């Protein structure tokens, strides 16, 4: 039996495929120890393989409770992380919040060495320098090493890394994590990896110990899984693993129904994740996590703090706000019997959109009387009725989510009317039709396994690994050959002897600062790609290949992939709200289609 596990902020979702049928389960998450909820859920199944979307790296970054980390760089660049790019998040804010780094000031070390942009050694690295570095690093758990231009020549980094590892440190080398130019982004990504990897390693080891007979794989932000050992060393690649599972699952449902273009709308208990699928999974290398750039390949997903557990409150100007603070799994919404702050889930219950006895298929009994009592106090203070308050909470939440959908569609030149919406997550189908109506989206799909679709995506996904190398001012052919050799060897170690290899190039016009990704055989058509992305091009202007990329895909055996076309009698774990003006019908695999009546 193969099992997909998505560990969320409010619920932990599990879905299992035994070769003939699917079984799903939701359990309350345990924020103090996420593995406890997973072990509880897995006790209901006999697992052969577990594909797990982990929040360990995400939570470590958001809560700033990762490993004590040192940063090693070329002497003179110790302040690289603080200097960053000098960008201002808010142009008109004269008092921006102070940046909270991951490395303490006294744990940043420079060493005497210098490699030039073409890989030439200008200042050699001495053994004496390395020995002195080990003594200076002292008592830390992890070390991030990012020497100048190591993407062009990793020799110095490799020597430093070997010595530090021999001394017992967990070490992340930028030439292994992100062998690409742009010092700040490479350093920041390497530091993130060093900061979260020790926690991920301990978490995975604990989980493997409790699953002695199951193969454990970990889902990545790029929409594919990797081995548990690989995830332990490259934890930065798992920061958005849960949301990535959702869009992969949505793409599988779209394929089944013949939908070529869709907007995914994943509303869980803590957050909402949206993405635009225009014939292929949307990738980016310009992600961010915990206020730091994360330049590993990942699915392009917009996440906001609005979910079923998002707390409604009045700000200092008496305006109603929803989120980003969430009631989470503990204490949860008021209706769970333990919370004391009004949430979006409470508002849906007050409006009759959720039937108390059927919530999560009856696994949690909602307390409607308690919710009404708490809501009455808040409504009285605001001078409105309970129902009016509940409607206002829903409108406020919808407004945030609508802005997120616009950011991945309208603001990028895509018309939402040309797309279907695939909604999922425990709360997604409660809000999807209203959002679709505001955006003039004609059709909404509620998958049969809407409540656990992110976990489903982890089951249907392939093993995916990304390899890259900067190729500024050189022919990328040699880089592609080297990357493909590395990719084949890596995939063999993960059990895939014949991976699919996909070549792409990051390209730009000479003089530009940023690139767009194009197929390696589409370099001649760069003008067309630029026109499509930005609305204009510079025909005849010289172009430049910047980064060569190879994506290696190890295909999941068809026998291990769930058959979503079969009629499902499993619980959706998601309530559906169908407002006036919408029709409803069932389709293949028990998916629900909602369409605007014109």
58: confidence class by pLDDT, cuts 50, 70, 90: confident
Q: What is the pLDDT of residues 154-177, one digit of tens each?
A: 999 999 999 999 999 999 999 999
Mean pLDDT of the chain: 91
pLDDT, mean of residues 417-423: 97
241: confidence class by pLDDT, cuts 50, 70, 90: confident
560: confidence class by pLDDT, cuts 50, 70, 90: confident
pLDDT, mean of residues 248-252: 95
* Inter-residue contact 251 to 283 (CB < 8 Å): no
Q: What is the pLDDT of residues 193-233, one digit of tens each?
A: 999 999 999 999 988 888 888 899 999 999 999 999 999 99
- Higher-scoring residue by pLDDT: 77, 33: 77
> Measured on CA atoms in the order 201, 202, 207, 209, is the torsion positive or negative?
positive
- Check pLDDT > 70 for residue 299: yes
pLDDT of residue 569: 60
- Check pLDDT > 90 for residue 571: no
Q: Which helix (H) or strand (E) holds 277?
A: strand 272-278
Percent composition of the chain: helix, strand, coil (DSSP 3-state, to 5): 40, 25, 35
CA–CA distances in Å: residue 202 to residues 197, 198, 233, 341, 578: 9, 6, 11, 34, 45
Strand partners, 423: 265
CATH of the domain spanning 2-62+207-241, picked from 3.30.420.40, 3.90.1150.10, 3.40.190.10, 3.40.50.620:
3.30.420.40
Neighbours of 291 (CB within 10 A): 14
Strand partners, 554: 463
Neighbours of 474 (CB within 10 A): 14
- Check pLDDT > 80 for residue 598: no
β-strand pairing of 215-219 with 114-115: unpaired
pLDDT, mean of residues 313-326: 90
Give DSSP secondary structure letters for 162-197.
HHHHHTT-EEEEHHHH--SS-HHHHHHHHHHHHHHH
562: confidence class by pLDDT, cuts 50, 70, 90: confident
84: confidence class by pLDDT, cuts 50, 70, 90: confident
- As given in the structure block, the two tokens for residue 482 are 């080297």
- As given in the structure block, the two tokens for residue 491 are 């995939």
567: confidence class by pLDDT, cuts 50, 70, 90: low
- Check pLDDT > 70 for residue 361: no
380: confidence class by pLDDT, cuts 50, 70, 90: very high
pTM: 0.90
- As given in the structure block, the two tokens for residue 542 are 């010289």
180: confidence class by pLDDT, cuts 50, 70, 90: very high
Domains 2-62+207-241 and 462-555 alike in fold: no
pLDDT, mean of residues 492-508: 93
- Check pLDDT > 90 for residue 98: no
358: confidence class by pLDDT, cuts 50, 70, 90: low
- Residue 116 preceded by cis peptide, ω within 30: no
- Check pLDDT > 90 for residue 86: no
CATH of the domain spanning 462-555, picked from 3.30.1490, 2.70.98, 1.10.3470, 3.30.70:
3.30.1490
Kindly list the domain boundaries of the chain, sorted by start residue: 2-62+207-241, 63-199, 310-396, 462-555
pLDDT, mean of residues 374-384: 94
Tell me if residue 272 falls in helix, strand or coil: strand
494: confidence class by pLDDT, cuts 50, 70, 90: confident
pLDDT, mean of residues 514-543: 90
pLDDT, mean of residues 80-96: 82
Q: Tokens 């961010």: give the residue.
A: 288
Tell me if residue 131 falls in helix, strand or coil: helix
Q: Which helix (H) or strand (E) holds 176?
A: helix 174-177
CA–CA distances in Å: residue 424 to residues 2, 103, 148, 154: 22, 38, 45, 44
Tell me if residue 545 falls in helix, strand or coil: strand
- As given in the structure block, the two tokens for residue 478 are 């040699």
- Check pLDDT > 70 for residue 570: no
558: confidence class by pLDDT, cuts 50, 70, 90: confident
The percentage of the chain sitting over the pLDDT mark of 90, rounded to a whole number, equals 69
- Higher-scoring residue by pLDDT: 269, 594: 594
pLDDT of residue 4: 94
330: confidence class by pLDDT, cuts 50, 70, 90: confident
β-strand pairing of 142-146 with 69-74: parallel
- Check pLDDT > 70 for residue 568: no
- Higher-scoring residue by pLDDT: 400, 89: 400
Give the Cα separation of 183 and 177 in Å (integer): 13
* Inter-residue contact 180 to 186 (CB < 8 Å): yes
- As given in the structure block, the two tokens for residue 188 are 């920041």
pLDDT of residue 192: 95
Q: Which helix (H) or strand (E) holds 58?
A: helix 56-63
pLDDT, mean of residues 280-296: 85
- Check pLDDT > 70 for residue 406: yes
pLDDT of residue 362: 64
């Amino acid at each position: 039996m193969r099992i997909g596990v998505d560990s969320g902020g409010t619920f932990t979702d599990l879905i299992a495929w035994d070769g003939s049928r699917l079984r799903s389960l939701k359990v309350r998450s345990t924020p103090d120890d996420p593995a406890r909820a997973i072990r509880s859920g897995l006790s209901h199944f006999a697992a052969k393989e577990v594909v797990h979307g982990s929040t360990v790296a995400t939570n470590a970054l958001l809560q700033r409770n990762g490993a004590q980390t040192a940063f090693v760089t070329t002497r003179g660049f110790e302040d690289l992380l603080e200097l960053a790019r000098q960008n201002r998040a808010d142009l008109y804010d004269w008092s921006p919040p102070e940046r909270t780094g991951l490395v303490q000031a006294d744990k940043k070390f420079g060493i005497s060495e210098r490699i030039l942009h073409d890989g030439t050694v200008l200042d050699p690295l001495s053994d004496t320098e390395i020995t002195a570095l080990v003594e200076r690093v002292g008592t830390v758990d992890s070390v991030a090493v990012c020497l100048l231009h190591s993407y062009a020549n990793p020799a110095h980094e490799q020597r430093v890394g070997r010595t530090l590892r021999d001394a017992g440190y967990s070490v992340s080398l930028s030439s292994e994590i992100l062998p690409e130019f742009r010092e700040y982004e490479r350093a920041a990504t390497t530091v993130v990896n060093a900061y979260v990897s020790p926690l991920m390693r301990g978490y995975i080891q604990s989980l493997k110990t409790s699953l002695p007979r199951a193969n454990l794989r970990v889902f990545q932000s790029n929409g594919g899984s990797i081995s548990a050992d690989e995830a332990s060393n490259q934890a930065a690649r798992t920061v958005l693993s849960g949301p990535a599972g959702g869009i992969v699952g949505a793409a599988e449902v779209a394929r089944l129904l013949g939908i070529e273009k869709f907007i995914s709308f994943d509303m869980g208990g803590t957050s909402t994740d949206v993405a635009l699928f225009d014939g292929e999974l949307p990738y980016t290398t310009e992600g961010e996590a915990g206020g730091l750039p994360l330049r590993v390949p990942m699915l392009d997903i917009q996440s906001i703090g609005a979910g079923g557990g998002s707390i409604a409150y009045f700000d200092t100007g008496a305006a109603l706000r929803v989120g980003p603070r969430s009631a989470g799994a503990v204490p949860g919404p008021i209706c769970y019997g333990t919370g004391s702050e009004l949430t979006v889930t409470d508002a849906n219950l007050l409006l009759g959109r959720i039937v108390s006895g059927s919530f999560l298929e009856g696994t949690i009994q909602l307390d409607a009387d308690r919710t009404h009592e708490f809501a009455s106090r808040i409504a009285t203070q605001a001078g409105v009725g309970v129902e009016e308050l509940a409607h206002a909470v829903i409108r406020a939440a919808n407004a945030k989510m609508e802005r997120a959908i616009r950011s991945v569609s309208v603001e990028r030149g895509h018309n939402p009317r040309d797309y279907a919406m695939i909604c999922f997550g425990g709360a997604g189908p409660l809000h999807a039709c209203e959002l679709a109506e505001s955006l003039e989206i004609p059709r909404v799909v509620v998958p049969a396994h809407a409540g656990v679709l992110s976990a489903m995506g982890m089951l249907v996904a392939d093993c995916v690994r990304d390899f890259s190398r900067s190729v500024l001012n050189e022919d990328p052919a040699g880089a592609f050959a080297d990357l493909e050799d590395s990719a084949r060897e890596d995939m063999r170690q993960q059990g895939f002897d014949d991976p699919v290899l996909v070549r792409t190039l990051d390209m730009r016009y000479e003089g530009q600062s940023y690139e767009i990704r194009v197929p390696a055989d589409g370099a001649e058509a760069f003008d067309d790609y630029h026109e499509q992305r930005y609305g204009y091009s510079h025909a005849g202007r010289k172009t430049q290949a910047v980064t060569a990329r190879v994506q290696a895909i190890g295909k999941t055996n068809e026998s291990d992939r769930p058959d979503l076309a079969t009629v499902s009698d499993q619980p959706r774990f998601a309530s559906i709200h169908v407002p006036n003006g919408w029709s409803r019908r069932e389709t293949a695999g028990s998916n629900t289609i909602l369409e605007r009546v014109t």
